[in-house]
Structure 1
Amino acid sequence: MDYNTDWIMSLSYRLKQLLLPALPGPLLCLLLCLHATNVKAQTPVPPPEDSVTSVVWSLQDCLNYAARYNINLNSLRLTKLSSEQDLILSRAAKLPNLNATVGQNFTGGKNVNESYVLSASGNYSINSNVTLYNGGFLNKDIQQKNLLLQVADLNVTAQMNDITLLITQAYLSILLAKENIVYVKDVVTTSEAQVKQAQQQYDVGSLALVGLVQLQAQLANDKYLLVTAENTRRQNLLTLKQILQLPTGKPFDIISPDTLIGAGMLTPVQEAQQQAFDTRPEIKAGNVGVDVAKLDLAKAKTGYLPVLTAGGALASNYATGLNNAYLKQLDNNFYQQIGLTLSVPIFTRKVNKTNVEKAKIEVDQSDLSLQNTKVNLSQTVEQAYINVLNAQSQYDAAVEQYKYNQESYRIANETLKIGAANIVQYLQQKNLYIQALQAYIQAKYNAALTIRIYDFYRGVPVKL
């Protein structure tokens, strides 16, 4: 993510909040126009063709790329820019407007002497209006647009959180596949050595053909497992590449860390839930949504109050066929007007009452939506906690299972080398070892993933 750009935009926005109310009207209008012109420069752009400069990426590289170029994120950023424009328009509604009107008419027809006469007339005016009082509607609308801008920003953060979890899961899946390939390659190497030894024993008549064929079949099966593991790695790389929305045909791989940081002390679930409530953007957006609904109710209630506006106009007109010349007519007909208008709602056919009742319903609806978000998040955190416990216990069991099967497999290998092993029993032990190995690798990365997801809900950044 371009953090410098985001920081500058945030500082600019805060300065405008502080300075705009104190600026003179003409200067304020000028600044608003300049801001609108600058929006184009802030609009997210698609990634250039050469944006993928490195072949091998770390997890942080993947997250940084997604934060800058993800289409859904950039779409939400455009929505945020639109919300900024709504806020600017809401503030500008407190300023007086200014309109100029020019009218020029030509009239032709016959007079009493039946001769054709063409006459001209013109009207010119400048008028302005400003709202002096409307029950606080404009101020409440500004507050509401400001809150909606916060919601738009929180939506960007929430989307980035979702993408972060997807990228982390895909990244760890690739690491799992890579480690599985390393172990399976070792198994294939051992099988090749055993087949070579068996071939030599068969050639000298110390091993039956069935024994040699069984070992050759096992080697073929081990090679198949290796091919499957490599295919899984390629598929997982493609999955991550598609999540990142990288251009087709670009080379791509990930960095394998030397060690995978294990799980630390597990935070109690109640504490984790409270941390999630305090930090997660969906909860913040829900709270702001309640405030937005309450401002809608306050705006609806202003419909019962009178509206006071001030207006003024400068105008003049002329017409041909009069004795005075054009400029003299404009001078004689020039007039100025200034006045106040008070509009008092008396009977609105239940429009205001209906708007107020619907706004109350929206407040209740936003409260329920916030409660539902909290319940869902609470359940998600609790499920993540249970996932960590299950994954850790499964990992502990897998480590023990792998340790004993590895030792049994080692003993079976040594026995086979000296020709004292039953090949059928050896192959059974080898299959048990391979199953234990794959279960161990799967449990290892599953434990790593679950603890990172759990910590992420607590507000802890994802790291390997």
Structure 2
Amino acid sequence: MNKIAALLFLFFVGFTITAQSKKWTLKECVQHALENNISIKQSALDMELADIDKRDANGNFLPTLNANASTSKNTGLSFNPVTGNAETTTLFSVSGGINARYTIFNGLNNFRQVQRAEISKLASQYRMSKMEDDITLFVANGYLQILLNKENLKVIAAQNKVTLEQIERTNQLVDAGVLPRGDLLEIKASNASELQQIAIAENALIISKIGLAQLLLIQDYANFDIADEEFTIIDEGISSKNVSEIISEAKENRSEVKIAEKNVELAEKEVQLARGAYYPTLSAFFGYDTRYADADPLDFIDQLYLNDGINYGLSLNVPILNGLSVRNNVQRSKVGLLRNQYQLEQAKLDLESNVYQAYVDVKGSYKSYEAAQAALESQELAYQYAKDRYDVGLTNAFDFSQSKLRYDNTQIEVNRAKYDYIFKLKVLELYFGVPATELKF
């Protein structure tokens, strides 16, 4: 029994360690967010409601069918449903019936309600699609921020290792009388500054991890981490396209415009539905009823058979004057249509502006990345030159520290420019119509 308990203990410990050591890839983070994000779940409920509304609209084409039954016992003067006379007696009676009604014409509102429900469902799908794109970008941005902070921490930690080696080397040169003791103090001051920068970088990394974990609704912040993936710059050629072509594709594919277009179509249906109230309504009806009373000597079944009756016919309702409510509803729906048309135009203008901004951002971030790379090459040569001179005592510790600081900052700037360019490039690809789940990093 003790062996079994020990094995179970080891199993659960191993399982816990495995669970805690899981490192999330970007694809896993995006998939988890799309499956668990509360806003997306709410959007899925909106789509479910749209399906219900569509079933309601289709149900309007079916006839209504209702059954009724009642029973009563009266003592005193009461109406005998069999004889049709008023009698002073104790009377027990039962009545029942079935009624059906079917709308033949109501200004085509049934058809338009189905059309409106279909449009509403499409609008809900476009809203969910936009939300998924937004969530994907949020996750990607948070993920890249963690990678950037990790890379920056690696740069500072690696350079601090060099600084520690230089402290040991400088101490030897000072003891040998080659360098003054002030150089050793300068290098130690640089070490203290780097340790402070390491602490800042570690805090930035922790905060970025917490931010992404919260976005993914993961509460175990302490053990959350991402995979150490190497992201390269993958350009599908979209950044080299003409901006007008990207804008044209965005207007065709982006959900922002499609949502606004569907809202206009919905408003148009509202106008048609409001105008439908001007038309008469024609309905067909059919009814069957029967009754029983204990005052009749006949038995229950015979009475139901003899006392039954049917009614059927057509019902026409012609609107003449309803306090101008129909006219006002039509005018109100026209105002709503005009408002949605304005919103569509604004959505197109906003999208065009956003695409221009994304296009300019990509071009600018790429130039910044190229400039940072060029600066890194120059600073690396300058740093190596300063290091060689310092190792043989031809330069002082302050000049060497300044060269090393510039080199460190340039490496950090290259990391920042790289991930900034990757993110902005993916934003532009989304505007061009690349699905969020198919973005390549």
Going from structure 1 to structure 2, the CA distance change for 1:110 and 1:147 (only over 3 Å counts) comes to closer
Instruction: Structure 2: state its 5+ residue gaps.
Output: 1-18, 79-87
How far apart, in 2, do the equivalents of 1:194 and 1:433 lie?
A: 16
- Structure 1 residue aligned with 2:72, among 91, 105, 109? 105
- Offset of residue 231 of structure 1: 1.9
1:170, 1:304 → 2: CA distance? 56
Deviation digits for residues 412-440 of structure 1 (CA, Å, limit 9, x no counterpart): 11111112211122122222222222222
Q: Report the counterpart of residue 320 of structure 2 in structure 1.
A: 346
Which residue among 400, 406, 413 is the counterpart of 2:374?
Answer: 400
Equivalent position amino acid for 1:202 in 2 = V
Distance in 1, Cα, partners of 2:21 & 2:379: 41
Shift of 1:459: 1.4
The offset of 1:255, in angstroms, is: 2.6
> Any residues of structure 2 matched to 1:266-277 within 5 Å, and which?
266-277=240-251
Deviation string 1:190-231 (CA, Å, 9 cap, x unpaired) is 100000112223334443332211111111111222222222
16, 25, 28: which one pairs with 1:58? Answer: 25
**Cα deviations by residue, 1:243-294 (Å, 9 ceiling, x for unpaired):** 1122335733223333412444522211111111111112112112111111
> What is the count of residue pairs matched by the alignment?
409
Q: In the alignment, is residue 231 of structure 1 matched against residue 203 of structure 2?
A: yes
| Structure 1 equivalent of residue 141 of structure 2 | 169
Q: CA deviation at 1:145?
A: 0.5
Tell me the residue number matched to 1:222: 194
TM-score normalised by length of structure 1 = 0.84
Are 1:71 and 2:38 counterparts? yes
Normalised by the length of structure 2, the TM-score is: 0.88
Q: 1:439 aligns with which of 391, 408, 413?
A: 413
| Aligned counterpart for 1:448 among listed residues 419, 422, 433 | 422
Alignment of 1:38-437 (within 5 A): 55-109=22-76, 118-249=90-221, 251-263=223-235, 264=237, 265-437=239-411
Instruction: Please say if residues 234 and 440 of structure 2, whose CA atoms lie closer than 8 Å, have aligned partners that are also in contact.
Output: no
State the AA in 2 paired with 1:70: N
Deviations 1:21-69 (CA, angstroms, capped at 9, x unpaired): xxxxxxxxxxxxxxxxxxxxxxxxxxxxxxx898222221111111211
Residues 145-181 of structure 1: CA distance to partner in whole angstroms, max 9, x if unpaired? 0110111111110111111111111111111111112
Quick one: distance in 1 between partners of 2:303 and 2:21? 77
Q: CA deviation at 1:302?
A: 1.1
Unpaired runs of at least 5, structure 1: 1-51
Considering Cα pairs closer than 8 Å and 6+ residues apart, tell me whether 1 or 2 has the greater RCO: 2
Contact 2:183 / 2:397 at 8 angstroms: preserved in 1? yes
Residue 446 of structure 1, CA deviation: 1.3
Worse-matched range after superposition: 434-443 or 367-376: 434-443
Structure 1 residue 109, shift from structure 2 partner: 4.0
Cα distance, 1:373–1:54 mapped onto 2, change above 3 Å: farther
| 244-253 vs 332-341, greater mean Cα deviation | 244-253
Give the CA deviation at 1:372.
0.9
Cα-Cα RMSD: 2.0
Superposition deviation, residue 391 in structure 1: 1.0
The amino acid across from 2:395 in the alignment is A
- Inter-partner Cα distance in structure 2 for 1:219 and 1:139: 77
- Greater Cα offset, 253-262 or 397-406: 253-262
Q: What is the CA-CA distance between 1:388 and the residue it aligns to? A: 1.1
Residue 387 of structure 1 and its aligned partner are, at CA, apart by 0.8
Aligned partner of residue 230 in structure 2, secondary structure:
coil
| 3-state SS of paired residue (1:448) | helix
- What CA deviation, in whole Å up to 9, does each residue of 1:314-363 have, x standing for no partner? 11112233343333322221111211111111112211111111111111
Q: Give the secondary structure class of the aligned counterpart of 2:73.
A: strand
Q: 1:98 is paired with a residue of what secondary structure?
A: strand
Query: In structure 1, what is the equivalent of residue 440 of structure 2?
Result: 463
Determine helix, strand or coil for the equivalent of 2:407: helix
Determine helix, strand or coil for the equivalent of 1:321. Answer: coil
Taking the aligned partners of 1:289 and 1:193, their CA distance within structure 2 comes to 67
1:353 partner amino acid? R
Question: Which letter maps to 1:213?
Answer: L
